Amino acid sequence: MNSTVTLTIDNQTVTVEKGKTILDAAMQIGIDIPHLCKDDRLTPTGACRLCLVEVEGRPKLQTSCSTPAEPGMVVHSETPEIRKLRKTVLELTIAEHRLSCTTCDKDGDCLLQDYAYRYHINEHKYPSLEHKVTTMNYTAREKAFVYDPSKCIRCGRCVKICAEVQGIHAITFMKRSYEVMVTTGFNEPLKTTVCETCGQCVGTCPTGALYPKAAKQKGRAKDLEKIRTTCVYCGVGCQLDLNISRKTGELVMVSTEPGSIPNDGNTCVKGRFGYDFVHSPKRLTKPLIKEQGKFREAEWDEALDLVARRFTELRSEFGPHALAGFTSARATNEENYVIQKFVRSAMGTNNIDHCARLCHASTVTGLARAFGSGAMTNSIKEIKQAEVIFVIGSNTTENHPVIGITIRQAADSGSSTVIVADPRKISLTSNAAIHLQHRPGTDTALINAMIHVILEEGLEDRGFIEERTEGFDEMAETLASHTPEFAEKICGVPAEDIRRAARIFAGAETASIIYSMGITQHTTGTDNVLALANLALLTGNVGKMNAGVNPLRGQNNVQGACDMGGLPDVYSGYQKVADPSAREKFSRAWGVELPEEPGLTVVEIMNQASEGTMKGLLIVGENPMLSDPDITHVEQGLRNLDFLVVQDLFLTETAELADVVLPAASFAEKEGTFTNTERRVQRVRKAVTAPGEARLDWEIICDLSRRMGYDMHYASAEEIMEEIAFLTPIYGGIFYDRLEKVGLQWPCRDRNHPGTPYLHKDRFSRPNGKGKFHPVTYIQPREMPDEEYPLILTTGRMLQHWHTGTMTRKSIVLDDLVPHGALELHPEDAEARGIVRGDTVAVSSRRGMIHVPVNITEKVRKGTVFMAFHFHEHPANALTIAALDPIAKIPEFKACAVKVESFAEKE
Amino acid sequence: MPKRNYVLVCGGTGCESSKADQIFRNLKIACTEQGITDEVQVVKTGCFGFCEQGPIVKVLPDETFYVKVTPEDAEEIITEHLVKGRKVSRLEYDTKGSTKNAKVDDIQFYQKQFRIVLRNCGVIDPENIDEYIARDGYAAVEKVLFEMSPDDVIQELKKAQLRGRGGAGFPTWLKWSFTKDVEESEKYVVCNADEGDPGAYMDRSTLEGDPHSILEAMTIAGRTCGASRGYIYIRAEYPLAIKRLKIAMQQAREYGLLGDNILGSDFSFDIEIRLGAGAFVCGEETALLASIEGERGMPRPRPPFPAVKGVWNKPTVINNVETWANIPVIILKGGDWFSKIGTEDSKGTKVFALTGKISNSGLVEVPMGTTLREIIYDIGGGIANGKKFKAVQTGGPSGGVITADYLDTPIDYGTLTSLGSMMGSGGMIIMDEDDCIVDVTKFYLGFSVEESCGKCSPCRIGGRSLYNILDRITKGEGEMADIGKMKDIGLAMKKASLCGLGQTAPNPILSTLNYFEDEYLAHIKDKRCPAGTCKELISFHILADKCIGCTACARKCPTGAITGERRQVHRIDPDLCIKCGVCLETCKFDAVFVR
């Protein structure tokens, strides 16, 4: 079948893909047919009527945005008749629009303005039908954005993007005819609706009707310069445009561009409204040195001399392994590379680790064992093309929102069947065909039972198992007893649901597994990952497009921090420290003898600190005082250190404990790259100047390194990437000039390599090229509920905040949306404890106790409670347990035993 | 057992609102009192069409046609006519001398009519499936199930050359064949019963009088196109039609004519009713489909057409009530028979709702090609109250006006369009010399403007702008430039609007500008309303030589604008006068006049 269509537009011949519209075809050859209601992410609306064209042989004019291009079509895009019609339609549109271009923020980036100019319209041809300027509408109480009906042209893009792209349906039109207006259902304030404040509506608005509140009066569109960069929040790696005022040099707002990869112009509430922190007055602007328990400002030379001296002293006194560094999943690849190089070369130890230990260490260990490589096997855009999407232990819409909405879209459009396994009724459960609401920490039992069903019913992919895998028999043998009925007892999920899920999964041509920390943050984290790998191998769902095992990485650059060797056992590109040839290669390149034995992990470093064997620690852009398990223990460890240096944007809970605090530049102030969850290396660009004396992380480290006797010099981040590419095969083809428009997905081995959208195509990256099954048996969480602590606490994140809140808590919009944390408690558990709505409760575990407002909800299952860990006022990690997965050393954030009491009673 | 007599009472909404239900009950009570229930059956039927004369009671077999019956007349009809055999002549239709004791055939209103769509209306009890079956009901579906292939059905429709009666006139066979040819397991059949034109009620009457014909036709379409589900989208303002449809559906299911394995065949089909909330635009097919899906009723761009992507994005045959009502007859009598009726361009009949300043308002079904003159003068009995014909508005608020010059035009889809109007759903509103064309146009446009969904800019803003201009003109604030502006906007709406509502909304303006430009100019230039209806342009005065000072007008005047001593000439204070016209109506001496 012919998949292209050739047609003629204005005497030019154009060939487009079948299914494209006349407008698509016209744009392809540079014919700019005006259009106000079109957004490529939406189904055609046909409301603005500007894109009407004449198609020979059709009696009526056709909207080119909605009419498919057909072979042999002859189109005229701008006959005198059409020009006149367009002019009249524009004059009418202007009659309804409040003509306030002189004071409008959107001046210079407004389609209506552009077309009015282009068609020489007479602004006053028809008497004004302007709507009243009123702020009393559905956005009246919003901090994020405002709706001005007098500038709204009723194109419907906001309503449609909310429904079709975000899948939320928070806004709609009310009334009819000339009175039609955008609002929420029943005209309620937006805050009381399901709105996720993603601001997609603002992003798609072609006029100034929807505009970020904070950006008003901060510069007209024509005064703003857009700097493309990569979002600093989650691992999706949205491409954002930082809009910088040419006059003040300030970041005014964030916008996006449809068509951008990977987010196609979509982003979430944090990406669009969470960037106040860049200009926060609380930013660190001078180095701080602690004297007699108090910080004083210092000059850079003094601070760096002090740090170099103390680290050098400790190294000579206690040996290099008494020193350690935490690199940062927030920092760029280049900085991570420099930091690990510093720790290994200048400090002389492999004690380098970072928060990946706390999120996906088990992914790295598990998938490396099963497939040979611990990263997402597929690309983000492939997810929604899978027939079945199995989401387990990932609250995708909150933690990877832009991936979350693609899953929603796939489910809503019926193109994919979604299975969700999660102890909570997360948002995606409403889009799912089945929700397996299992108890926290029972994932292996659940997955094994699915595998059991698949084997029992002969649904496995025999050909794939034989050709491409090993270890099947050993794995299968251990599963005889893992029946769905057995799993039902452990997981609390009906056996029949497990059977259905297994059949749906195995019956799909392409099935994609999406998981995140619900899988990894367990003492059985590696086992959980291996079980999922087994499921994928068993059904042949890996090594092909749209099907695979897809761990969603948490931090913006956690993938990159791992790739760069911010881990105790590997150099950049997962080249093993223990491998003499790798060590030799790096020794030679770096001109220094490198330590042989792998270093310690995050929790082990903390343990040694509290035991007193770890003496000096450098922490870059991390806040373990909120993010690590059992923070009482963390605090004790950090206080026990001889010397603690923290490099950060803010004086975090961790920085408070430091001896020296070094002010660092934020992502908006630097050049570099982040690697997102789909292994895509993307550019970060400098948009604003760092405040005060804050400096780039890599520059600080280079200065420090020189002072410690190891000379590091780079002229730019680009130069660092050249060294990375030279030493790191999977990054061998990553050069800045190749990243200008779109990032590249590793493995990218040389300059001409196009990057790798999905992994393990013909062979797995294990030495023998085969995928390996691993027998996995169910092991219960380290701490099970008992009489004293009868509930299971599971922790996680939420849409509006990020990790320890250092950035998001400083955002007016985000902190207004969710000003404090809450403990999710099932109504029956609440009733049993006499806890009612609005109460504050005392939650305690064997490690600590906190007071927190309660949210009584059926979102959690009975016996389970949930808390997000963002809030320093009631830190969830005061309760969690530092029990580790024996292989990955990841702590069990997702399950510990707690008790909940009414606060009053406690007093 | 057949009865001696049948007494048919119109049970359409029009007559029901004139107490037809009470008449029906009183007739039954009288029969019981007279002990003649074994001999006489009282039947409540659908609409007779002659609404001007309602409530109507017809007695069979003698075909006595009683008009304007009241509940109090019921007893007399029974005791006199059915017991004693003496017709109640004061209730009989007055043919103005041509015949005494008029039967239906003698009534001019019916003489030029030809009933296909309304064949059972006023004839059968719509709540009794047996009566429908007795009139060949469900024979067509049986034929389709057991004797015809889907292609045969399409062929028959093609031969019939039936065009959609919703207004656009798209060939029905073609629409069906599009849906039939899409390979898709899930398809739908939809009946558009969202009749919304002011004054049009042929769909309502059909559903009230003959609901089974629609169910049967939809089932035929389901079989032909491969659909197993149907929706009837009907406005909630039609409670009687909804009630009768529900009864009909229930009976059809009991008879195995709806539901699984219809008539024992392997074909299953069922229908669901969806209620509209009164938005006119939901009569537009894509808006209707959106509304069925629970979305806001707003049109979507076509293509894709509903025949390919309709309800829930599945292929959907959507036809209007009147179109559906033709289907069983075409199947039974054949496409050739049907295509012999009508004109070259348009086959079959068309039901018109004749209203306005006409003597015989009502529902009339005539063969395509009947002239306007025949409808207005022969069937409609001419203009009411002896006034002069001015124009007829066809196609409802989105149609145009046709003047006296074109009264002899045979009506079909093509001729109406070429006259700048349209068939629409078949509204036909007669205007007389008292109607101000600008004011009437403003009324129609006002309807379309209010009912615009607001989605596309030409309709939303253009309609409103046009209305404002017209409003100014009727207030004497018009300017010459307004004529050009109205033409520009009207053209933009016609050419650029998304759906039929916007595309046709300017029709009244464009056609009246064409035929009655002088009347516009009178308003704009001379600040004068020739028909004397635009309040801002008229003033009331009292003629001194005719006023006898009876004070009647002063007593009736609601604002006290009229002053004058008894037996003295009265005077109207123009500042207080609200131009309600009460004085004009009150004065017996023709002393009040309008300028």
Could you tell me the CATH number of the domain that includes residue B16?
Answer: 3.40.30.10
Tokens of A187: 């005209």
* pLDDT for A193: 93
User: What predicted TM-score, i.e. pTM, was given to this entire model?
Assistant: 0.91
Name the residue type at position A21. Answer: T
Question: pLDDT grade, residue A1 (50/70/90)?
Answer: low
CA-based nearest distance A64→chain B, Å: 10
Percentage of chain A exceeding pLDDT 90: 91
Chain B positions touching A156 (Cβ under 8 A) are: 455
Strand partners, A470: A772
Residue that finishes a domain, picked among B310, B338, B366? B338
Chain B CB contacts of A126 below 8 Å: 465, 485, 489
pLDDT at B176: 97
Test A89 with B496 for CB contact under 8 angstroms.
yes
User: Closest Cα of chain B to A213: distance in Å?
Assistant: 27
Here the contacts of B14-18 (C-beta below 8 Å, separation 24 or greater) are B14/B47, B14/B51, B14/B54, B14/B201, B15/B47, B15/B48, B15/B51, B15/B54, B15/B55, B15/B56, B16/B240, B18/B54, B18/B55
Q: Are B136 and B211 in a shared domain? A: yes
Same domain, B41 and B74: yes
Nearest by CB to residue A177, choosing from B450, B465, B489, is: B450
**CA-angle at A551, arms to A549 and A554, nearest 5°:** 170
Beta strands in B214-278 (DSSP E): 229-235, 270-276
CA nearest to A314, candidates A612, A600, A617, A615: A615
Is the pLDDT confidence value at B411 over 80? yes
> To the nearest whole angstrom, how far is the Cα of A127 from the nearest Cα of chain B?
8
| Pair (B330, B356) in one structural domain | no
* Residues B326 and B216 placed together within one structural domain of the fold: yes
Q: What is the pLDDT of residue B95?
A: 75
B168 and B218 share one domain: yes
pLDDT for position A386? 96
Residue A720 has pLDDT above 90, yes or no: yes
Written in H, E and C, the secondary structure of A95-149 is: HHCCCCCCCCCCCCCCHHHHHHHHCCCCCCCCCCCCCCCCCCCCCCCCCCEEECC
Please tell me which of the candidates B454, B458, B496 has its beta carbon nearest to residue A177: B454
Cα B574 to Cα B535: distance, rounded to the nearest angstrom:
12
Nearest 5°: the CA angle A706, A710, A716 is 60
In a domain, B120, yes or no: no
Q: Is residue B574 part of a domain?
A: yes
- Other Cβ atoms closer than 10 A to B239: 12
Q: Which of B104, B138, B160 is the last residue of a domain?
A: B104
b/e burial code for range A119-132 (CB count within 10 A of at least 16 → b): bebeeebbeebbbe
Residue B96 has pLDDT above 80, yes or no: no
CA R_g for chain A: 28
Give the model's pLDDT for residue B99. Answer: 58
pLDDT tens across A127-168, in order? 889 887 777 899 998 999 999 999 999 999 999 999 999 999
Q: What percent of chain A has pLDDT over 70?
A: 99
Note whether A356 and A891 are within 8 A (CB). no
How far apart, in whole angstroms, are the C-alpha atoms of residue A688 and residue A665? 10
CB of A180 less than 8 A from some CB of B: yes
- For the residues B324-343, what does the mean pLDDT come to? 96
- Degrees, nearest 5: CA angle A203-A207-A213: 60
Look up the ipTM and state it. 0.89
Shared domain for B27 and B77, answered yes or no, is yes
**Rounded mean pLDDT of B549-571?**
91
pLDDT in tens, A656-704: 999 999 999 999 999 999 999 999 999 999 999 999 999 999 999 999 9
- Record the tokens describing residue B566, joined without a space: 């008894």
CATH of the domain at B374: 3.10.20.600
Residue B123 lies in a domain: no
Q: Are the Cβ atoms of A49 and B464 closer than 8 angstroms?
A: no
Contact A49 B453 (CB under 8 A): no
Whether residues B160 and B247 share a domain: the answer is: yes
Same domain, B179 and B312: yes
Q: Alpha carbon of A72 to those of A445, B178, B301: distances in Å?
A: 59, 22, 22
What pLDDT shows up at residue A2? 67
- Number of separate domains in chain B: 5
| Residue B214 Cα distances to A249, B195, B534, angstroms | 70, 15, 44
> Domain check: are B18 and B163 in the same one?
no
Q: What pLDDT shows up at residue A793?
A: 94
**Gyration radius (Cα) of chain B, Å:** 26
Domain of residue B356 covers 349-432
CA distance to partner chain B, nearest, from residue A254 (Å):
29
8 A C-beta contact, residue A138 and residue A146 = no
* Crossing angle between the packed helical segments B517-524 and B437-451, to the nearest 10 degrees: 90
Element (H, E) at A645: strand A643-648
What is the tens place of the pLDDT at every residue in A336-348?
999 999 999 999 9
Cβ distance of A177 and B301 shorter than 8 Å: no
Residues in chain B closer than 8 A to A179 (CB atoms): 454
Q: Provide the residue count of chain B.
A: 595
Q: Residues A779-811: pLDDT tens digits?
A: 999 999 999 999 999 999 999 999 888 889 989
User: How far is the C-alpha of A105 from the C-alpha of B153, rounded, in Å?
Assistant: 62
Q: Give the DSSP letter string of B404-461.
A: GGGTTPBPSHHHHHHTT---TT-EEEEEETTS-HHHHHHHHHHHHHHH--S-SHIIII
Whether the predicted pLDDT of B300 surpasses 50: yes
CB contact under 8 A, A46 and B296: no
Give φ, ψ of B127 to 5 degrees: -95, 10
- Contact criterion met (CB < 8 Å) for B465 and A126: yes
The 10s digit of each residue's pLDDT in B229-269 is 999 999 999 999 999 999 999 999 999 999 999 999 999 99
Residue B291 lies in a domain: yes
Query: For position A907, what pLDDT does the model report?
Result: 44
Q: Is A85 on the interface with B (CB under 8 A)?
A: yes
pLDDT at res. A904:
65
Per-residue confidence at A906, pLDDT binned at 50, 70, 90? very low
Q: What tens digit of pLDDT does each residue of A402-445 get? A: 999 999 999 998 899 999 999 999 999 999 999 999 999 999 99
- What average pLDDT is seen over chain A? 94
Q: What phi-psi label fits residue A750: left (phi over 0), alpha (psi between -120 and 50 degrees) or beta?
A: beta
Question: DSSP string spanning B321-352?
Answer: HHHHHHHHHHHHH-HHHHHTSB-SS-BSEEEE
The verdict on B386 and B474 lying in the same domain is no
The answer to whether the beta carbons of residues A502 and A436 sit under 8 Å apart is no
Is B185 a domain residue? yes
pLDDT score for B97? 61
End-to-end Cα separation, chain B, in angstroms: 68
Comparing alpha-carbon positions, the chain B residue that sits nearest to A185 is B296
Instruction: Check CB contact under 8 Å for B495 and A46.
Output: no
Instruction: Supply the angle between the helices B437-451 and B507-515 in degrees, to the nearest 10.
Output: 170
Chains A and B form CB pairs within 8 A to the count of 112
% of chain B residues with pLDDT over 70: 99
Note whether A495 and A486 are within 8 A (CB). no
Judge contact between A878 and A847, C-beta under 8 A.
yes
Average pLDDT of chain B is 92
Tell me what pLDDT residue B424 has: 85
Structure tokens at A684: 């970060």
Beta carbons of A63 and A51 less than 8 angstroms apart = yes
Given a cut of 80, whether residue B101 has pLDDT beyond it is no
Task: Tell me the CB-side half-sphere exposure of residue A479, using CA atoms within 13 A.
Answer: 27
Of B493, B524, B555, which residue constitutes the final position of a domain? B524
**pLDDT above 80: residue B98:** no
Question: Is B298 inside a domain boundary?
Answer: yes
Going by C-beta distance under 8 Å and a sequence separation of 6 or more, which residues neighbour residue A280? Answer: A650, A810
Question: Which chain A residue shows the shortest CA-CA distance from B280?
Answer: A176
Residues of B within 8 A of A44 (CB-CB) are: 301
Interface of A with B in 107-136 (CB under 8 A): 125-127, 129
* pLDDT score at A630: 87
Is the pLDDT at A559 greater than 90? The verdict is yes
Supply the CATH number for residue B171's domain: 3.40.50.11540
Residues A804, A797: Cα–Cα separation, whole Å: 10
Q: Mutating which of B456, B473, B491, B503 best tests the A interface, going by the most A Cβ atoms within 10 A?
A: B456
Same domain membership, residue B78 and residue B197? no
Residue B501 belongs to a domain: yes
B279 shares its domain with B141 = yes
Query: Given an 8 Å threshold on Cβ–Cβ distance, is B457 in contact with A63?
Result: no
In degrees and rounded to multiples of 5, residue A459 shows phi and psi of: -95, 0
Write the CATH number for B496: 1.20.1440.230
In this structure, is residue B313 part of a structural domain?
Answer: yes
A592 burial (CB, 10 Å; 0-12 / 13-18 / 19+) is: middle
**Tens of pLDDT, residues A172-225:** 999 999 999 999 988 999 999 999 999 999 999 999 999 999 999 999 999 999
| Beta-carbon count within 10 A of B268 CB | 14
To the nearest whole angstrom, how far is the Cα of B491 from the nearest Cα of chain A?
8
Q: What is the pLDDT of residues A223-275, one digit of tens each?
A: 999 999 999 999 999 999 999 999 999 999 999 999 999 999 999 999 999 99
Within A342-479, strands assigned E span 352-353, 388-392, 417-421, 434-436, 469-470
Neighbour count for residue A590 (Cβ, 10 Å) = 17
